[in-house]
Amino acid sequence: MANLLHLGGFLVTFVNTSSGLHRIHQTSQAFPPESDVLRFETIPDGYSLDSAGAPNHEELRRSINRTCAAHLGQLLRRLKQDPVLPPVSCVVANFLIASEAVGAAEEMGIPFFVLWTTSACSLLGSLHLRDLIRRGYAPLKDQSFLTNEYLDTPIDWIPGFEGIRLRDLSSFIRTTNPNHFFLDCEMEEVACAQRASGVILNTFDEMEGKVLDAIKASLPRALAVGPLFLLLNQMKGVPKNLNLFEEDRGYKEWLNSQRHASVVYACFGSLARLTSEQLMEFAWGLADSKHPFLLSIRPDLVENVDGGLPEEFIREVEGRGWVANWCDQGRVLRHSSIGGFLTHGGWNSMLESVCSGVPMLIWPGFADQFTNCRFACVDWGIAMEIEQEVKREQIRKLVVELMEGERGQEMRKKVLKWKEMAEQATNAEGGSSYANLMRLTEALC
């Protein structure tokens, strides 16, 4: 987003937090990079740097809530007084830090925009969290409501959400705690978005049009300007590739040796945590499918375990399986050998899969991933869902269906159509997202 705004004529100061900067430095990357495109600043977030390699996300979020607003306000005042720089004209904040940014921007009398980095369908669910609580759907009465089919309750009163069930909404409603920290955070994020001068969404009108129409009843200045990386390609921008983990490079030569659309890529994102038992069920399910696979196991994926796989497994998959620590996911999905993607269903991952024309198997874990999964499986027809209790036989069957079955073939046809529509949306000649980006740059001036 920062690169796109620069290409739109803005001088952009990119503000990172201290623990985020620390994690980037752990991968031996030079940051901030030498750049005549962006300025870089860092503000303290009060989080222990000793823990930043594998952060406790609730502790990190609480620390940000306590710390960042004051430091961001100080930064804005310092930039305002800088005799060389032009005055700050607006603040664009990731929605996860919106509550810290909005106060500082309002104090300075500066327009404030929220970059909402999940899907539009997830945002629509977030907009109705208070209604769910008011109507008594959440919090849950007791733990039995997680297993007694209560989560299958239809939610038929949200426009744009036809056929949705309670289980398809944010996982933070699956609590008996009326003061659940992340549920409160999500509602606060929505409140900040409603105060903002505009909301920027990393999606495109053609894919989430019905949902976007419903969102605009509450957020009339919401603009879909995605997929952002396709827009950057269209505008011939050069993105800065920042990883939170050091990339394993050995997989590239292996991918080059595989047949077209023959490999299943499996990755669980940068936040999800698995038990060692879950990892083994996924790994053996992939192995038993007899299809080539690339499995990404980041260093902190498995709790209290080094993430290694047994020698028996390594021998079994020799030559047809590759286990990597961390990959350049966009590059992997665009590789001609990739025929399917086993994913946690985070929005960045799903957009990259769509824009690469790769169908998915989704194992949603938390937050927006359940909503993303439902729309991918039902509305867009490009994915199949993996049950929460992971079993290797289920994984084997789904991989075989994805790679060989009629349903997999149909999903592949549909995802290629969505890929084409994403490319059209970001095209400078009449694309909806391109036009919305131009509207955004006008609004920011």
Q: Would you list the DSSP string of 269-332? A: TTT--B-HHHHHHHHHHHHHTTS-EEEE--TTSBTTS-----HHHHHHTTTTEEEES---HHHH
Contacts of residues 417-423 at CB distance under 8 Å and 24 or more positions apart, as own/partner, are 418/207, 418/354, 418/380, 418/382, 419/354, 419/355, 419/356, 419/357, 421/204, 421/206, 421/207, 422/204, 422/206, 422/207, 422/227, 422/230, 422/351, 422/354, 422/355, 423/230, 423/355
Residue 365 CA to its chain's centroid (Å): 12
Q: Does residue 32 have a cis bond before it (omega within 30 degrees)? A: yes
Q: Would you list the DSSP string of 39-55? A: EEEEE-----GGGTTS-
Q: What is the pLDDT of residue 311?
A: 87
pLDDT above 90 (res 35): no
Closest alpha carbon to 357 in 380, 387, 379 = 380
pLDDT above 60 (res 240): no
Domains along the chain with CATH numbers: 2-242+424-444 (3.40.50.2000), 251-423 (3.40.50.2000)
Tokens of 70: 């004051």
Q: What is the pLDDT of residue 52?
A: 44
40 within 8 A of 32, measured Cβ to Cβ: yes
Q: Which run of H or of E encompasses 335?
A: none
The alpha carbons of the chain give a radius of gyration, in whole angstroms, of 22
pLDDT above 80 (res 337): yes
Q: What is the pLDDT of residue 204?
A: 97
Q: Residue type at 150?
A: Y
What is the average per-residue pLDDT within 1-15? 91
Percentage of residues in the chain having pLDDT higher than 90: 64
Residue-wise pLDDT for 43-75, tens only, equals 998 887 664 456 688 888 888 888 888 899 999
Mean pLDDT lowest among 19-33, 214-228, 242-256, 365-379: 19-33
pLDDT above 60 (res 445): yes
- Going by their DSSP bridges, the two strands 91-94 and 112-116 should be labelled as parallel
pLDDT above 80 (res 362): yes
Mean pLDDT lowest among 97-111, 332-346, 393-407, 421-435: 97-111
Mean pLDDT lowest among 33-37, 267-271, 299-303: 33-37
pLDDT above 60 (res 213): yes
Q: Which residue has the higher pLDDT, 443 or 208?
A: 208
CA–CA dist 268, 296 (Å, integer): 8
Please report which confidence band the pLDDT of residue 372 belongs to, taking 50, 70 and 90 as the band edges: very high
Q: What is the pLDDT of residue 34?
A: 61
What is the average per-residue pLDDT within 253-280? 90
Closest alpha carbon to 181 in 219, 131, 139 = 139
Q: What is the pLDDT of residue 244?
A: 63
- Three-class SS state of 113: strand
Q: What is the pLDDT of residue 247?
A: 66
- Mean pLDDT for the chain? 89
DSSP state of 379: I
Q: What is the pLDDT of residue 49?
A: 61
Q: Residue 175: CA atoms inside 13 Å, Cβ hemisphere, count? A: 17
